[in-house]
Amino acid sequence: IEAKDGNVNEIEKLDGFLDYYGCLMVFADYKHVSNLDNLNEFLEEWGIRFTQNTYLVDYEHSTTTDGITIRAQYAEEGLASSIYSDIINLDTKPTTLSRYCMPIEILWDENEDNKGNRKVWSVLDSYDSAKSMRNGEEVASGSESIMTLSREDRIINNQHYYSYVLACGSPSYTMGYAQSKAYSNNNILYSVMRATGRERIITDVTWK
């Protein structure tokens, strides 16, 4: 599918927005992301690739008997761990939930720079007991990234300026679970917004 309508190119607009130190968040559905060719190519430039038509099942770390609503584990190294350090340092870590989580492949080594000094880290992972399913069949097993954060670092007049791309393989992460105080979905998103936004104060986000 082309992301161009007349004289408007949506990918160029996203690219221009990120050039001015913006932050993009993408919550993708495993059933439909394969239709977004231009967006997928754009995200690969930020070091990530959605594993299309694939979702995770984890019977050991699920709140439902079908294993589809899974609990994520926090990344305890890299940039992401510093963003929500107040959460992972708790004696009892709160739960994050998502349904039909699509794995995200990190294309670069954690310490590898791409053009423009871009790096990518995992934010949330599935547990080792997770299985990757495609067309009703298991195609892989083990821990997978289900949320990632890419960052581009520019140095201008000896000052660091950052652009960010957050990717999540489940739209359900923000739908319902982020509104419940029983889970930490909203805390993770707020922590990312505080870390990536240029405003020092973040107000509550009204659910629509």
Residues 150-163: pLDDT tens digits? 999 888 888 888 89
Q: Which residues contact 165 (CB under 8 A, 6 or more apart)?
A: 18, 23, 24, 25, 26, 43, 46, 48, 149, 150
In angstroms, the Cα distances linking 131 to 15, 59, 73, 135 are 34, 9, 15, 13
- pLDDT of 186 reads 86
pTM over 0.75: yes
pLDDT over 70 at 44, yes or no: yes
**Under DSSP, is residue 164 helix (H, G, I), strand (E, B) or coil?**
strand
Comparison of pLDDT for 202 and 31, the residue scoring more: 31
Q: How confident is the model at residue 141 (pLDDT cuts 50, 70, 90)?
A: very high
Asked if residues 102 and 55 have their Cβ atoms less than 8 Å apart, the reply is yes
